[in-house]
Amino acid sequence: MVAATNAQCTFTDNNNNTYDFSGMTNNTQYSYGTSLGGPKYYWNICQNAQVCSQSSTGLQPTTAACQLSSSIYNSLGLLASGAFGLLPSGKKGATLTYTDAVLACASRTKARKALIDLQCVPGAPTQTVSIAETEAGSCIYQIIMTSGQACPIVVNTSTSSATTSSPTTTTITTILGSLLVATIILFLTV
């Protein structure tokens, strides 16, 4: 596991793929919930979630994820507890885990925990796919997100710069390269 705070929002997997999730940090927070009166969730990547951190919630100012249920805010984890690990599916990306040491779940016998799966989908915008308690009474909430920002950093050794992998960028680069070659050939034949 690797710590996940504002300063450290990177992760290297077992295949030496390096990820920089700082591009997924939201200015306020992400939110997800239904209009059917069920719980609503708020969280952020490598930063506290603004709604969770407000003093009116009764939660700590460094709360990175929380659940609003029946007008009560429940912490799902603190920023300082954030740690990256491998996705359980073996896909590219990482799981960001936030925990809270307060035993406030399951008749006050368990602490709540947020598992945020950050799955790589090259070129895709950041979106939340689902949120669910892993099993009833577990107090572990799994949030699944997909994004091009969750893809490994590709290091270009010729210019020493890093970018995230994207088929769209590759296609555009190939097309522009082909146009340049066609223009040169046309110029030479005239």
Q: What confidence score (pLDDT) does residue 167 get?
A: 40
In which domain, by residue range, is 145 found?
2-165
In a domain, 180, yes or no: no
Q: Provide the CATH number for the domain around residue 143.
A: 2.70.130.10
Q: What confidence score (pLDDT) does residue 34 get?
A: 73
In a domain, 176, yes or no: no
In a domain, 124, yes or no: yes
In a domain, 183, yes or no: no
In a domain, 185, yes or no: no
Q: Looking at the 3D structure of the chain, how many domains does it have?
A: 1
In a domain, 155, yes or no: yes
Instruction: Return averaged pLDDT per consecutive 10 residues of the chain, 190 residues in all.
Output: 63 94 93 84 95 92 94 94 92 96 87 96 96 92 97 68 42 32 34
Spell out a b/e string for 139-150, using b for 16 or more CB atoms within 10 Å of the CB, else e: bbbbbbbbbbbb
Q: What angle do CA 134, 137, 139 make, to 5 degrees?
A: 65
8 A C-beta contact, residue 50 and residue 28: yes
- Residue 163's H or E segment, with its range, is strand 161-164
| Predicted structure pTM score | 0.78
In a domain, 187, yes or no: no
| Amino acid sitting at position 76 | L
In a domain, 29, yes or no: yes
Q: What confidence score (pLDDT) does residue 55 get?
A: 87
Strands 83-85 and 2-3: antiparallel
Q: What confidence score (pLDDT) does residue 175 get?
A: 30
Contacts of 132 (CB under 8 A, 6+ apart): 141, 142
